Amino acid sequence: MSDPIRAVINLDLPGARISRHIYGHFAEHLGRCIYGGFFVGEDSDVPNVRGIRSDVVDALRALNIPNLRWPGGCFADDYHWRDGIGPRDQRPRMVNSHWGDVVEDNSFGTHEFMDLCEMLGADPYISGNVGSGTVAETSDWIEYLTRSDDSPMAALRRENGRDEPWKVPFFGIGNEAWGCGGHLRVEQFASLARQYSTYVRNHAGNEVYRIAAGANSDDLHWTEVLMTSFDDLTKVDAKAVPFQGISLHYYTLTGDWHDKGNALTFDTEEWYLALSRALHMEQLLTRHGQVMDRHDPHRLVGLVVDEWGTWWNVEEGTEPGFLYQQNTLRDALVASVHFDAFHRHADRVVMANIAQTVNVLQAMLLTDPESGALVKTPSYHVFEMNTGHHDAEGLDIHLLGVPSRSVDGGELPLVSASASVKGDTALVSLTNLDHAEERTIELDLRGRAYLEATGRLLSASELSAHNTPDAPEAVAPVTLDGIRRTDIGLSVTLPAGSYATISLTLA
């Protein structure tokens, strides 16, 4: 066994608050995410409430899901919200040109989505249509959703069965404007973002956090132009920013966009390559944050990573445009290292959204189209194990003696960690990325004593282990044995390829 790794944590020096919205989710009209995932219709044999799957709601409520982004993604810039209101049998059909070129009947629209959010106890994050929509359409939608008096859109909402307005705290100004959202130059989009944001108004006490479509991965120029686009406004009023957040999209894959890598069949080199590319998120947050800091030193504008996760080749035999992939222990560790990065950048990262919640990409849940069975993926369990970080205050962890491995022209640290404190409870997240060797970590706990320590472990006998209807708990949390109190804190040994959380009750 290798020498122990030392992790120094000052429990009495809390840092930035880790927003619960970092644990946000994403539901697009894509494949079986909405239809067959969230929504089965009221006549389905699958237990449902007003057409929304009850088991999906129950599973997501266990994650304390903080927000849900909808209707896209690329789909958002083809979506016209008026087509998804009123009697379902009278709604017009539309072509989902981005994802499978299928025809949709708009049976899941604004009222159904807001009903879903209320069932989940989640804040709605609505993505507006900038690509093919109009400013007036966007203005009318936010009025329809949030206005309480007898305005035209409020009256229309009442005609469709909803008397009281909803709260909509988050609204996206376009999506991937550099790509499927219009293939715009950033200078074009920056002007549109100012214009559209102006018309996403605060009605009836509803305060909207407006999020402009941001950069693709390493495109620092996109962030630079968006941040400079309101310099003239802030010279008059420091808080006169047209949007309060800008987004960032980054996906983890081991190949390229033509051959992204396989979800289930991979060797150890691909294991490490995926984890190394997931850790690139740290670099992205640092670099985009530095650009934002130059223009916004008081951090009035937040960074919103509203699409992230693994993207593999689709499962053989499934529709290529539906992006259905399995989810293994490797995906779970990709999620854990992302969260560690988000925690470290909690002073700028205000929200993040995994892509996507059900049956698409790095999903939390998979539903079997034949049996109707629901499966919780390994990634689901990382989200559940991390709920203690929601709205907690981040704690710095200083790791000493961490071994690394040369991967893809760089060095991959084989242990990742983060921590937080909330009242008299601290939570430490630890990931052993080594595929073959267990690692012992000595937690050097300073500033506060602890009374009790308990741990949970997510691991598996095989790197490609995953959950199915026949083996729903092949990768599931168990009690972490072997936590030992020491003179400086505690010692814990992590199996190869594993994720653990340690909960500390503080004196």
Is 137 tagged catalytic? no
- Report the C-alpha gap between 498 and 385 in whole angstroms: 13
Going through 311-384 in order, the beta strands assigned E by DSSP cover: 349-355, 365-367, 374-376
- Report the C-alpha gap between 366 and 360 in whole angstroms: 8
Active-site option among 104, 112, 176, 384: 176
Q: Exposure pattern of 44-71 as b/e (b: 16+ CB <10 Å)? A: eebebeebbbeebbebbeebbbbbbbbb
Of the candidates 374, 347, 363, the residue with the CA atom closest to the CA atom of residue 315? 363
Active-site option among 28, 143, 307, 442: 307
Is 370 tagged catalytic? no
Please classify residue 258 by burial: count the beta carbons closer than 10 Å to its beta carbon, then call 0-12 exposed, 13-18 middle and 19+ buried.
exposed
Going through 201-259 in order, the beta strands assigned E by DSSP cover: 209-216, 245-252
How far is CA 50 from each of CA 31, 38, 53, 112, 113, rounded to the nearest angstrom? 21, 11, 9, 8, 11
- ω before 356 within 30° of 0 (cis)? yes
How far is CA 370 from each of CA 338, 367, 373, 474, rounded to the nearest angstrom? 33, 9, 8, 21
In degrees, rounded to 5, the angle at the alpha carbon of residue 278 between the alpha carbons of residues 274 and 284 is 145
Catalytic residues: 176, 307
